[in-house]
Amino acid sequence: MDQLNVLVPPLRFGCIQENLYRGGYPRKVNFPFLESLNLKTIISLTPEPIDSTTDANLDAFAKEHSIRLVHIECAQSGKGKKRGVPMGYTAVLTALDLVIHNKHAPVYIHCLNGGQVTSLIVACLRKVQFWSSIAIFNEFINYTTSITINDRSFVDGFEGEIEVDEDDRVCWLWQGLGRGIASSHPSIKFKGKSLNSLEEQTVGVGV
């Protein structure tokens, strides 16, 4: 009997939202699975960039399938920088700018093991989406063995300015939220093209 062609997802793989995925560092065995996602962008939250020197297999896979590799420098888990975590807020804002716009999707975002580093980015995205702290950290621990006080402090303190192109914004970003909510976010300032439409728009299922 011929062996079945089994698609093997990366370690700790998960679907964050439509056309947005997370997980660990892609290995060669994961490439057929990733190919099935029709990815346009891979965001690597790693200490070193991915290229023909550091990872010839992944670099070749991305080139073969016209996938853009984006490197955002982050330390290894447990070897933190600011606030005892492996990244700063600038790295988070850079990643969020990529995941909230359709022109980059579908997107796969990964760190070395799919745990703390990726979870911090996702947690900050959930904060932008107005998730409660309980919901954010419940999701966090689904992909990690634990959550530290430094992780919590980093997410709770996350703030910054995000430019949103309303003509290209992913549909799920503020799905279900009422009129004017996004423009009144307590810690994130949004700016950009057609952002005033947020004041007029009511987004939601069945609305």
* pLDDT at res. 1: 41
Report the run of H or E that residue 69 belongs to, with start and end: strand 68-71
Boundaries of domain holding 144: 14-158
* pLDDT at res. 108: 98
Q: For residue 172, is it within any domain?
A: no
Per-residue pLDDT of the chain (207 residues; tens, 9 = 90+): 445 578 999 999 999 999 999 999 999 999 999 999 999 999 999 999 999 999 999 999 999 999 999 999 998 654 444 457 889 999 999 999 999 999 999 999 999 999 999 999 999 999 999 999 999 999 999 999 889 999 999 999 999 998 888 889 999 998 876 656 777 787 888 887 555 544 433 333 232
Burial profile 52-61: b = 16 or more Cβ within 10 angstroms, e = fewer: eeebeebbeb
Q: For residue 203, is it within any domain?
A: no
> Would you call 202 exposed, middle or buried from its count of C-beta atoms within 10 A (0-12, 13-18, 19+)?
exposed
C-alpha dihedral sign at 177, 143, 90, 100: negative
* pLDDT at res. 82: 47
* pLDDT at res. 14: 97
Number of domains present in the structure of the chain: 1
pTM: 0.86
* pLDDT at res. 186: 78
Tell me how crowded residue 74 is: count the other CB atoms within 10 A of its CB: 27
Q: For residue 177, is it within any domain?
A: no
Q: For residue 200, is it within any domain?
A: no
Q: For residue 3, is it within any domain?
A: no
Q: Residue 124's domain is classified under what CATH number? A: 3.90.190.10
Q: What residues are annotated to the active site?
A: 111
Q: For residue 49, is it within any domain?
A: yes
Half-sphere exposure of 98 (CA within 13 A, CB side): 25
Number of H helices, E strands in the chain: 7, 7
Q: For residue 142, is it within any domain?
A: yes
